[in-house]
Amino acid sequence: MASGNNEQLDVVVVGAGFAGLYLLHRLRRLGLSAKLLESADDVGGTWYWNRYPGARCDIESIDYSYSFDPELEAEWRWSERYATQPEILRYLKHVADKHDLRRDILFKTRVAAAKWNGGTSSWTVSTQQGGEFRCRFYVMATGCLSQPKAPDINGHGRFLGRSYYTNRWPHEGVDFSGLRVAVIGTGSSAVQSIPIIAEQAAELTVFQRTPNFSRPARNGLVSAAKMAAYNSDRVAYREAARWSATGVPMSVSTLSALQVSDGERLAAYETAYASGDLLAFGAAYSDIIVNPAANKTVCDFLCGKIRGIVRDPETADALCPKDHFYGTKRPCIDTHYFETYNLPHVRLVDLCKEPLHSITECGIDTELRSFTFDAIVHATGFDAMTGAIVAVDIEGREGLSLKDKWAEGPLTYLGLSTVGFPNLFLITGPGSPSVLSNMAVSIEQHVDWVSNCIAHMRREGFDEIEATPAAESAWVQHVNDYADVTLFPRANSWYMGANVPGKPRVFLPYIGGVDRYRKACEEVVDRGYLGFTFKGARETRCNDGAIRRVQPDVAVLLETIEALKLPAVETLSVVAARALSGAMGAGRPPGPDVGEIIDGVLPGAAGELPYRLYRPKTPGRKPVVCYFHGGGWVLGAADSDDPFCRDLCVRTDAIVVSVGYRHAPEDRFPAAALDAFAAVKWIAAHAAGLGAEPAGRLAVCGWSAGGNLAAVACQLARGAGGPHIAGQVLVNPVTDWDLTHGSGVENAEGYLLTRALMQWFWDHYADVPDRADPRASPLRAKDLSGLPPALIVTSEFDPLRDQGAAYADALAAAGVASRHLPCRGHIHTSLVAVDVIISGEAARAEIAAALRGFLGTAPT
């Protein structure tokens, strides 16, 4: 009988890598009975299997190591900056021995299936070897990169020579001396092994499907500076790692790569290149991973380096990545990788030019040539992140199969748990930072969270834990929202599941960073295990809810502004408030280039008003969008929404005229409203003089108080019988003075525009009796019929959300062609924050499309 039969345990852990070993240690400390099942015959996980020549870590070993055991930290000395596989394996074996872990590990034991038994709140875990274990908790510590990708090359298995797989390398090693060797693949494992195989082989031919970015690792002894930083205060060092974006303590620039001079940028990249640090380019500027133009500066720099090393221009060109942005596929660091292609016995076959046809008995055929080899090395990677999990037949509540549940992509809450599978925990599962981080740090965080959760359940007398559907779907949304503000989804990478035929294209890890992720996990606990249901003999406790609802880039903006510790605007004098608002606008990205910008004046209701005109680059006379800036009738100017106006101009291909109306408190209601209407009339009458279509099409648009003025201008134009306004786009408009209910209360604080600030604006703008005047609160107009068609944009976390929505409804009820565009996860300032709030792009495109529709211009 196989071991384990009838055994009753608190926890079964699968996998004896970094994660499983630490988890077993933690569970034992809690006094729990636990067994660890591992298919290999020893500990090590990744570092047990991947024994190919040159295998080593690419996060510095000081960082890529456990922090839970101060004694271990003090006694272990890494011999190199990036330790080799044998050294890392030695380290993990040492940890297993030091903590006497092996006595609870069953080696050569592959878990085949796991089934939830609702009646007993337990899992039955079955092994390929015929063993069966009953446990309350079942933890998959099966690794993100442990399931080899199934071979997908024609003729696989036909080769009569020697075949090797980097992720299942023979323990006794391989001697390639005198052999003709092929390597298929150019990912991390290939980049590490190729230079070493080339040292031995008589001939080496590398078959490359897609090139990867790589640069010298500059391995050697750990630098004195790093050692000093680590040794001077290890506790603080590790804590800094835990609260960093990547799990490695380092500073990340807040500057855009496009904000600095070419010389400054080049110097920064040379420093990053010289550092040999995998993460250095991502940290050099804040927008490398979100802005294509910023990213291209890195791509160009690194391709320049490749061309500088590889002598044959055709080979160099083939080695330069062209199909993905830097970082969107895992970049590599290497030792003489590109130099290897200068050796006379090494050649590159570019499979983009001559696709691989099949493996044959004696070698490899491309569509153009036949090659003969003695040995073929497959460096073709993993079915990452989900492969090892769904390889086990996991059956949850009511017979639900995890594989089926994840057929369209993994669904998890925090990457730790998944609905329908009580008491199942995933270590570094999909939806957690995992492979985008120093995994030692991410593993420890997950292990700690899971152990603490189990301890909490024991204290509280609960037998079951399960994520709620609402919490899970909100987390999946959040993970996708984060990916969508970056360039990652554009690459055919294993992060996207794109390396495995038939695998759904879903961004698998969480890109928000180790620090933000940790904060979310801690908040979940602090808020009473938000998003989880606990069940016990005495009670069921469900604390439903979503941990992150704000768009990720909005959250970053809010954090950044909070860190500035600015005074609340409503506590300032008007002069100070204007100075602060001007200063806040000064450092923002400028927005796109337009053809021409002209500052001028036009006659308002009581004197001249400044305006700023934005003309598109395209030739010809254009229709006009008359724009009103935000700022609560108190702040702002004709140029204060400059990036948004540029964006509108480019997207609509219309002339945008931003009007600087009179401000309160110097000029109170109805000055701004009358100026807005006067400006619309003047612009309509003088369109030809502005270079627009003579007597042509005109639409109005405005944000916030400017949205209020655009709406009011439409009402006044209707009353006055003209001018004709083709349409109105109101972005987060003020349509009513009353903020005492709905979103006015719900979003009163925490999202930049507060209810108190809105009140301050109203106090400066209009006397109380005037506030119900439709020229101040357009929602209060008795009759809204006959107004121009409208797009009303609202943001979920805006105190003004409900009044914007109410205006859209009221317009529609009055027979106006009105559309409401609610923006999920956004705040009052999201949409005008061009190139800052990237998640606002889709709404900006819809705004422009609506304006184009009103103006009758075809989309570009």
The binding site for ligand FAD (CB under 6 A) comprises 14-20, 37-40, 45-46, 48, 50, 55, 57-59, 64, 110-111, 141-146, 189, 388, 391-392, 427-428, 438-439, 443
- Shortest Cβ 178–ligand FAD spacing (Å): 27
CA-based nearest residue to 569, from 790, 828, 743, 377 = 828
Nearer to ligand FAD, 49 or 797 (CB): 49
- Shortest Cβ 20–ligand FAD spacing (Å): 5
Distance CA 712, CA 735 (A): 9
- Shortest Cβ 492–ligand FAD spacing (Å): 20
Q: Is 361 exposed, middle or buried (0-12, 13-18, 19+ CB in 10 A)?
A: exposed
- Shortest Cβ 328–ligand FAD spacing (Å): 18
- Shortest Cβ 88–ligand FAD spacing (Å): 8
- Shortest Cβ 19–ligand FAD spacing (Å): 3
- Shortest Cβ 195–ligand FAD spacing (Å): 15
**CA distances in angstroms from 241 to 64, 286, 434, 447, 656, listed in the order given:** 10, 19, 14, 16, 48
- Shortest Cβ 395–ligand FAD spacing (Å): 15
Nearer to ligand FAD, 128 or 571 (CB): 128
CA-based nearest residue to 840, from 795, 799, 797 = 795
What the block records as the tokens of 486 is 């970056």
Nearer to ligand FAD, 91 or 628 (CB): 91
Nearer to ligand FAD, 58 or 796 (CB): 58
**Secondary element (H or E) of residue 594:** none
Contact 774, 719 (CB under 8 A): no
Distance CA 630, CA 627 (A): 10
- Report, in this order, helix, strand and coil percent for the chain, each rounded to 5: 35, 20, 45
- Shortest Cβ 238–ligand FAD spacing (Å): 15
Nearer to ligand FAD, 192 or 704 (CB): 192
Distance CA 158, CA 341 (A): 28
CA-based nearest residue to 93, from 104, 101, 82 = 101
Contact 111, 397 (CB under 8 A): no
- Name residue, tokens 């809105």: 758
Q: Return the number of other C-beta atoms located less than 10 Å from residue 261's C-beta.
A: 8
Distance CA 642, CA 97 (A): 64
- Shortest Cβ 46–ligand FAD spacing (Å): 4
- Shortest Cβ 435–ligand FAD spacing (Å): 7
Q: Return the number of other C-beta atoms located less than 10 Å from residue 427's C-beta.
A: 31
Nearer to ligand FAD, 144 or 594 (CB): 144
CA-based nearest residue to 414, from 450, 387, 441 = 450
Contact 752, 558 (CB under 8 A): yes
DSSP letter string, 315-383: HHHHHS--SS-TTSS--EEESSHHHHTTSTTEEEEETTTS-EEEE-SSEEEESS-EEE-SEEEE---B-
Nearer to ligand FAD, 123 or 737 (CB): 123
Nearer to ligand FAD, 188 or 658 (CB): 188
Nearer to ligand FAD, 40 or 196 (CB): 40
What the block records as the tokens of 386 is 């989900």
Residue 648 CB partners (closer than 8 Å, separation 6+): 614, 625, 627, 654, 656, 701, 847, 848, 851
Nearer to ligand FAD, 189 or 315 (CB): 189
Nearer to ligand FAD, 133 or 737 (CB): 133
- Shortest Cβ 21–ligand FAD spacing (Å): 7
- Shortest Cβ 476–ligand FAD spacing (Å): 22
Distance CA 79, CA 61 (A): 9
Nearer to ligand FAD, 10 or 393 (CB): 393
Nearer to ligand FAD, 39 or 210 (CB): 39
Distance CA 658, CA 626 (A): 6
Residue 124 CB partners (closer than 8 Å, separation 6+): 114, 115, 117, 132, 133, 134
Nearer to ligand FAD, 143 or 431 (CB): 143
- Shortest Cβ 251–ligand FAD spacing (Å): 20
- Shortest Cβ 320–ligand FAD spacing (Å): 24
- Shortest Cβ 824–ligand FAD spacing (Å): 33
- Name residue, tokens 């469900």: 542
- Shortest Cβ 332–ligand FAD spacing (Å): 10
Nearer to ligand FAD, 56 or 622 (CB): 56
Nearer to ligand FAD, 58 or 203 (CB): 58
Nearer to ligand FAD, 439 or 569 (CB): 439
Grouping H, G, I as helix, E, B as strand and the rest as coil, residue 719 is: helix
Residue 564 CB partners (closer than 8 Å, separation 6+): none
What the block records as the tokens of 837 is 């709030």
Residue 44 CB partners (closer than 8 Å, separation 6+): 16, 17, 88, 89, 92, 93
Cis peptide before 723 (omega within 30 of 0): yes
